[in-house]
Each structure stands twice: as C-alpha cells, then as structure tokens.
Amino acid sequence: MKNVLFVASECTPFIKTGGLADVIGSLPQALKENEQIDVQVILPLYDEISEEWKSQMHLFKSIDVPVGWRDQEASIYKLTYNQITYYFISNDYYFTRKGIYGYYDDGERFVFFSRAVIEALNYLERKPHILHAHDWQAGMAVALAKIMQPIEDLKTVFTIHNIKYQGVMPIGTFEDFFELPAEHIGGLEWDGKLNCLKSALFHADKITTVSPSYAEEIKDPYYGEGLSPILIERADDLVGILNGIDIKEYNPLTDPALPVKYRSSKARKKENKILLQEKLGLTINSDKPLYAIITRLVEQKGLHLVQHIFEEFLQEDVQCIVLGTGDEEFESYFSDIAQRYPEKVAALLYFDEGMARQIYASADFFIMPSKFEPCGLAQLIALQYKAVPIVRETGGLKDTVQPFNEITGEGNGFSFTHYNAHDLLAVLCYSLTIYRSQELWNTLAKNVNKSQFSWKKSARDYANLYYQLTMEYA
C-alpha cells in the first residue's frame, strides 16, 4: 500500500476558485479505484468553507507550528467524505478572513500552511510515503519535507497547475520565518526573492504538470514565467499528465442543477436554453446559436482577444452569456456590452456553480481563447454538456480539442493557432457556418458525444509515478 498525502489550497466540494479545486476533489476519488493507493488530503480551514462542512469536522489535534523565533497555534480538523480522509489546518490569524486569496501577506499565509503540514505529518493516522503538493501555495511543503526530513525516506511530487502564480516574497522572509541554516537559501531563492514555486521545482523528486503540451511549453521562456531554466535542468523529472474530470459529477443526465436532464438529445438541451434565455432576459428562441464564456476574468483567458472583436461578432444573429469574476477591466467591459445588447448578451459577474452548469447545458458553443492554458477543465466540462469548444491551440486545449474538419468529418471543436483577435473572429464565424449546416453540425455533434475526458488513464499514470518513485529508491 502506498500512502499519498495531497497538499493543496482548494478542493471541491469544500472550497473552489478554479480548476485546481476540481482536480484536488476528483483525482483522489479516481485513485481510490486502485486498491494499492491510499490518498489523504490536507487543506487550510478557511472561514469561507460553509458551516455545513464545518459541522461535520472534528478536532483531531492541536499543534504548535514554529515560525522563526515564535510558535503559532494551529488546530487540525478531520473529516471523512466519500471514503477519503481530509485534514484541515486552522489558524485564526491567517485563515479567518473573507475569500481565500488576494491578501498582501498571501506568501506568508501559505508558507505557514506548508510549515504546519510538515508539523502535522507527525500525527496523521496513516504516515505518507509520498507527499504530493499542488501549486505554489503548497510548494514550500515540498522544500521543507526535503530539508527537514520529518519522515524518513518521504518522496515528493509537485504538480504545476499554473506556473504564472509563484508565491514570491522578500528574501528577508527566510530569516524571519524559517529556522534553517543559511545554506538552504539557494534552493528557495529565485531572482533575489523567496519563491515558493521555484522551491518546489528545486526540491521535488518528480515534477508533473497538467498536460503534455504544457510540459513542453513551460521549458520555453515565452510560457515559463521566468522559470524555464530550472525546468530545462529538471526535464528528466518533468512529465505532463492530462487532467480529467469527474464524469459522474459532471453528467447532464443526473446533474441536479439542470431543469431538463439529457444525455445527447438536442431537443432536451434546447429546453434548457429556452429556460435560461427567459431567466436572463435574452430573446427567447431555441434556434439562436448560444455562445458561453465561464471563467476567471483574467488576461490569461484570452479576454483581450474577445474584447477586440466581440462587438463585430455580435452583429451576427448570435447570443452570448459570460459568467465570471476577476479584473475590473473585463468586468466593466462585459457589463457595459450586456447593457448595450440586452437581448443578445448576459454578463453575470459572480461565482455560481449551479449557474455555470445551467450555462454549459444551454450553450451551443464554449469560447476559451486562452493566451496560455496548463490544461483547462472548462472545455472538458463543456464537451461533457455537449457545448462545442472554440479554443486557441495551447497547452491542454491543444491536447483535448481537435479542430473540426468538414472533409474528413473529424474533430470535436474549433481552434486557431496565433494569439490574434481576427483569427478568433474568423473561427467564430466559421463555427456559425457549421451550426447552420445541419449535416455538418450533426457530424460534429456525434464527435462531441464521443469525447470524454475521465480520470481513468491519468489516474493510472499518477499511480505508476508513485510506484516508480517508491521502488526506485527502495
């Protein structure tokens, strides 16, 4: 039996801001199929986690976490859900706040979390053989596991879900926060600053990222966000494993959020569309092609391209629903355009899982022209709800969406190569042409019905990685 401890900052169904939460929620479930692997998950206990969940947790252990010259108290809570053990680290000072990210001291908050995880290792019911940390918030746990060796021969895996966010702090944090000999500073430092992501890349036994294409791309300075030199150095230990989604959870036939459930029936999908058009004040007509965007409203998602050509595209007989929160620039752009085209555009500037599912279920198309995309789950959820993805060929989008070819009849979506607004416009207009040709649309719909990205294969790849790691050094 291999015991694996997932360390992360978000996880469905407890707390989510993006795809990371979906992965931490669903991958342990998929790994459970393998009887030789036991996954436990450790997370911060945010105020934002609902009372419904908190009432099911029980206090497992109170601990003191050394941070520099002082100790901080922390409590470990425990919850078992769907046969997985979850531990939550609570600390009044760092995690009793509104929201989960966006504070001036985020770096320190998650360094504290990582330090507390190392302390908690002494008490967990099942001692991990492998510590598998995800993204910068958990990065320092990998470094500390290697430097402090809290468990003999503990192996570490670090997964990059997005290299853009690195957890960078002034170098002085090292002295202030860690009781470590100065020789360790080199492994934690990058460009004169303390860098949580780099610390993990330097120390992890294996590094994974969430699609094969992104694993290649981040070795290139254009995508590497300053860290490509270290990824090139560690290329032999870097592997891309495509994310999956929980296909039981995202199933239009059983999804409780949908007014009308369906498997592949176009007519039933259209009933969802009509209800949503009505709810959002769009023109009610099930034949109007409906395009959707559901995303964090940040530059990464290619929204500058959308901004550039959106109004031109809206001159066509189309509708668009945008669901997202994020940068003010995009929020005000979409709310302004929705006011000017109330029958065609709805801008929903909030986070709502149920609404997201209703939109996926109603949409004919899903627009995701990302500048970069480590894997992307939204396009996989869209395929699951039979909305055709329109993407830029980058990272996981390239690995999951094959452009429709009307001659061969192959492909499950539409794509374009260069980060260029008029290329996006051209492909949007092309998607309309296909929508209007019944025969081609039917062929495309069949391909979409066959596209399914479950965790099955990727969970096996992770399991093999764990075996390889623990045997190699045995």
Nearer to ligand ADP, 299 or 461 (CB): 299
- The residue from 34, 75, 307, 325 that contacts ligand ADP (CB under 6 A) is 325
Is 99 a binding residue for ligand ADP by CB under 6 A? The answer is: no
Dihedral over Cα of 376, 377, 382, 383: its sign: positive
CA 230 to chain centre: 23
In this chain, which stretch among 188-196, 276-284, 290-298, 450-458 interacts with ligand ADP, using CB under 6 A? 290-298
Burial 168-180 (b: 16+ CB within 10 A, else e): bbeeebbeebbeb
Considering the rule CB under 6 A, would residue 106 count as an interface residue with ligand ADP? no
Residue 12 in contact with ligand ADP, rule: CB under 6 A: no
Q: Which of 294, 320, 363, 448 binds ligand ADP (CB under 6 A)?
A: 294
**Alpha carbons 198 and 140: distance in angstroms, whole number:** 9
What is the smallest separation between the CB atom of 216 and ligand ADP, expressed in angstroms?
19
Among 3, 277, 295, 384, binds ligand ADP (CB under 6 A): 295
CB of 246 to ligand ADP, least distance (A): 11
Pair 441, 434: CB distance under 8 Å: yes
Q: 86 with 58: CB under 8 angstroms? A: no
Instruction: Confirm or reject binding of residue 356 to ligand ADP (CB under 6 A).
Output: yes
Closest CB to ligand ADP among residues 144, 356: 356
The answer for residues whose C-beta is within 8 angstroms of residue 331's C-beta and 6 or more apart is 297, 324, 325, 349
- Residues within window 364-383 making contact with ligand ADP, judged by CB under 6 A: 376-378, 381
Neighbours of 15 (CB within 10 A): 21
Element of type H or E holding 469 = helix 456-472
Q: Residue ranges of the alpha helices (H) in 182-327?
A: 185-188, 196-203, 212-217, 221-224, 228-233, 266-280, 303-313
CA distance 191 to 229: 12
Q: Which stretch binds ligand ADP (CB under 6 A): 274-282, 291-299, 307-315, 424-432?
A: 291-299
252 binds ligand ADP per the rule CB under 6 A: no
Residue 289 within binding range of ligand ADP, rule CB under 6 A: no
44: contact with ligand ADP by CB under 6 A: no
Q: Residues 4, 14, 22, 211: which binds ligand ADP (CB under 6 A)? A: 22
Residue with the two structure tokens 């940040």: 298
We find the least distance from the C-beta atom of residue 39 to ligand ADP, in angstroms, to be: 20
Residues found near ligand ADP in the complex (CB under 6 A): 18-20, 22, 294-296, 323-325, 351-353, 356, 376-378, 381
